[in-house]
Amino acid sequence: MRNSHFKRLVTGFAALPFLIIPIAMGGIWFAALICVACLLAMAEYCRIVFNPKGDTISATFLFLAMICGGFAILAAAYLNNTSLMLGIIAICLIASAMFSLNRFKSDPYILENLANQIQAIIYIPLSLSFLLLIRNSELGAHWIFFLLVIVFAGDIGAYYAGSYLGRHKLCPSVSPGKTIEGSIGGILANIFVGFLFKIFFLPQLALGPELFLFFILVGSCGQAGDLFESMFKRNSGIKDSGNILPGHGGILDRIDALLFAAPIAFVFKMYLLV
């Protein structure tokens, strides 16, 4: 366990400059960071969920369409064009559906892989696009760091609270190691660290019930995102989505909570915490 903690710490500190600098610089640098994370996460997702019994040509087309559609969604978000984002999602569905009509007879797994492809577009690039929308808005860099700090604090709080106090299983069929005590510890860490960040870096935010609701929803949705990815991995019989980050697993393992937390942060920033 000590060796695992050491690997996590070394990897975390080594990755910090590659995270902090693009966020601070914004623009094309932050967009490039999101695109790289999106590409790696989608590749890991396909390895986990795509049925290998499906036709190779079908799987190749669906993967390429997913990559192209995902990058198009991110490009639209970079341009702050939410209407275009919706149009791209619809076009991806239509194009993939038309392709599947010709493959239905020869590939019995085409509909399963098509559903996984459409799910991937919504799950990964669309969720990540909210980070670009947040970064492009007023005080965008502050809010990206705000969100990351809350999510990471919840992850750490849940881990240690679960390790030392965990007794009751949270969702044993999906992730046997997670406990209710760990979940509560994570939410408390979300609130505490989020409150400290607000005091020092976002003092203009009103200290009201909406802010505490924001902390709780970001934390609980982040935990749901973690369990959602665990469901894919358990169904496929694998432990980690990848091994690109020693001690952490894959990119998808690192951003699973963020994928569910980012849309919540966007809605609160744009419409509720104003």
Say yes or no: 266 and 212 in one domain. Answer: yes
Domain containing 145: what range?
A: 139-274
Res 189 pLDDT > 70: yes
**pLDDT one-digit tens code per residue, 153-170:** 999 999 999 999 999 999
What confidence tens digit (pLDDT) does each residue in 196-240 have? 999 999 999 988 999 999 999 999 999 999 999 999 999 888 888
Quick one: pLDDT band at residue 8, thresholds 50, 70, 90? low
Residues 141, 197: contact at Cβ < 8 Å?
A: no
Mean pLDDT of 162-190: 94
Instruction: Please report the pLDDT score of residue 105 as a whole number.
Output: 82
Please report the DSSP string for the chain in residue order: -HHHHHHHHHHHHHHHHHHHHHHHH-HHHHHHHHHHHHHHHHHHHHHHHS-TTS-HHHHHHHHHHHHHHHHHHHHHHHTT-HHHHHHHHHHHHHHHHHHHHHHTTT-TTHHHHHHHHHHHHIIIIIHHHHHHHHHTSTTHHHHHHHHHHHHHHHHHHHHHHHHHH--SEEETTTEEEEEHHHHHHHHHHHHHHHHHHHHHH-TTS--SHHHHHHHHHHHHHHHHHHHHHHHHHHHHT-S-S-SSBTTTB-HHHHHHHHHHHHHHHHHIIIII--
Residue ending a domain, choose from 121, 136, 151: 136
Q: Is the pLDDT of residue 3 over 80?
A: no
Phi, psi angles (nearest 5°) of residue 215 = -60, -45
Q: Based on the domain organization, do 122 and 168 belong to the same domain? A: no
Pair (190, 249) in one structural domain: yes
Q: Does residue 2 surpass a pLDDT of 60?
A: no
pLDDT over 90 percentage in the chain? 70
Q: Are residues 161 and 270 in the same domain?
A: yes
Q: Are residue 55 and residue 124 in the same domain, yes or no? A: yes
pLDDT at position 54? 65
Domain co-membership, 114 together with 149? no
Q: Are residues 122 and 143 in the same domain?
A: no
Report the alpha-carbon distance of residue 213 to residue 222 in Å, rounded.
14
pLDDT in the model for residue 245? 64
Q: Please report, as a single letter, which amino acid is at residue 176.
A: P
Residues 34 and 114 in one domain: yes
Q: How many residues does the chain have?
A: 274
Residues β-bridged to residue 169: 179
pLDDT over 60 (residue 4): no
Structural domains in the chain (count):
2
Q: Decide which of 115, 136, 157 is a domain's last residue.
A: 136
Show the tokens assigned to 98. 């038309």
* The predicted structure's pLDDT at residue 239: 82
Q: Please report the pLDDT score of residue 61 as a whole number.
A: 85
Give the domain-ending residue among 136, 154, 180: 136
Residue 249 clears pLDDT 80, i.e. is over it: no
pTM to 2 decimals? Answer: 0.93
**For 56, phi and psi rounded to 5 degrees?**
-65, -40
User: What are the backbone angles phi and psi of residue 53, rounded to the nearest 5°?
Assistant: -80, -10
Q: State whether 97 and 123 are in the same domain.
A: yes
Q: Are 117 and 144 part of one and the same domain?
A: no
Q: Is the pLDDT of residue 244 over 80?
A: no
Pair (129, 161) in one structural domain: no
pLDDT higher than threshold 60 for residue 247: no
Least confident of 6-20, 75-89, 133-147, 180-194: 6-20
**Residue 158 sits in the same domain as residue 253:** yes
